[in-house]
Amino acid sequence: MRLNPTQTLEQIASMIDARYSGDPAFPITGINEIHKVEKGDLTFVDHPKYYAKALSSKATTIIINKEVDCPEGKALIFSDDPFRDYVYLTKQFRPFEPSAELISSSAYIGEGTTIQPGVFIGNHVKIGKNCLIHANVSIYDHSVIGDNVIIHSGTVIGADAFYFKRRPEYWDKMHSCGRAIVEDNVEIGACCTIDKGVSGDTIIGKGTKLDNHIQIGHDTVIGQNCLFAAHVGVAGCVNVEDDVILWGQVGVQKDLTIGKGAIILGQSGIAKSIPGGKTYFGSPVQEAKDKMRELAMLKKLPDLMKLI
C-alpha cells in the first residue's frame, strides 16, 4: 500500500507510541507485508526465524520486537507486539468505508461497460471499457478491473486475505489493505473468489480465463493467458507465470512459483515450485509420464506379491 503523502519515521513511531532508531525525518512511502516489500516500505517482524529476512529485505523501515543495531540505510521501530502495531497502522491509512449504495459514487465505470442488476461496486473501484458484470457480483473497495472483462454471477473480487496470527485464546486478524487487480480480456466464471492482497496486489493477468468455483488467495500473481478449470484452489503469495493450465480441482500451496507453460492435470496437489514447459500429475505433483508409469507398476503389485 502506497502512502500519500509520504510519512516520516517520527510520525509513524508517534502513532504507535514507540521508540525508534534512525533519522526522525526518514521517509516511509508505503506499508507492506514482507512478501511484497519495496524500497521505502515499512514492514514488521515478530519471530526470530524471520529477523534476518526482514532486516535484509527491500523494506527500509522495520517494526521489530528485539533490540538490534539498525542496518545502514534503514530505520527501526521497537515494539513489544509488531503485529498489533502494524495492523493498527494499516487501519489508520486504509480504514473500512461503509457503503450506502449498490454502486459507489466514488467508483469509475468505463464507456460501454454493462452492469447487470444486483451488482455491488464498492468505494474507489475502477472498471474499464466494454466489460460485462453479471448479476450479484460483488467488487470490493479499491479493486481495479481492466477493459473487455467478463465476470459471471456470484463472484467476489477483493475479499479480505485469509491471514491470522495465533494468540493464546483466539486468532488475531490481519487487516487487509491491498487490492485485487483484474487485467484486460480476463473472463471469470460464476462463484469465484479473488482475495485482495494483505498490503500489496493480487493480480489476474491479461487474457487469463477462470472457470466456475475457483479461489485465488491474497497477493497471488497469475500471469497472462492462463487457463484454470473448475474448483482450482490457489493459496496466497503464489506466482503463476504465463500460459499455465490448471485442470479441475488442482490445489496449490502458498509461497511457490509455477513456471511458464506448465500443465497440471486434474486433482493434483502442488506443494513446491515447479519448472515450466512440462505436464504434471499427482499429489505431490511429478512429471505426468513418471507418475503414470508409477501407477502402472502399482497395478502389477498384487500379482508380484503372489510370486513371493
Q: Tell me which residues are annotated as active site.
A: 218
120-143 burial string, b = 16+ CB within 10 Å, else e? bbbbebbbbeebebbebbbbbbbb
Beta carbons of 209 and 191 less than 8 angstroms apart: no
The alpha carbon of 133 is separated from its chain's Cα centroid by a whole number of angstroms, namely 22
Element at 91 (helix H, strand E):
helix 82-93
Element at 137 (helix H, strand E):
none
3-state secondary structure of 220: coil
Q: How far apart are CA 163 and CA 170, in angstroms?
A: 13
Contacting residues for 54 by C-beta, under 8 A, at least 6 apart: 34, 43, 44, 45, 62, 64
Beta carbons of 155 and 192 less than 8 angstroms apart: yes
> Is the Cα dihedral 71, 73, 76, 82 positive or negative?
negative
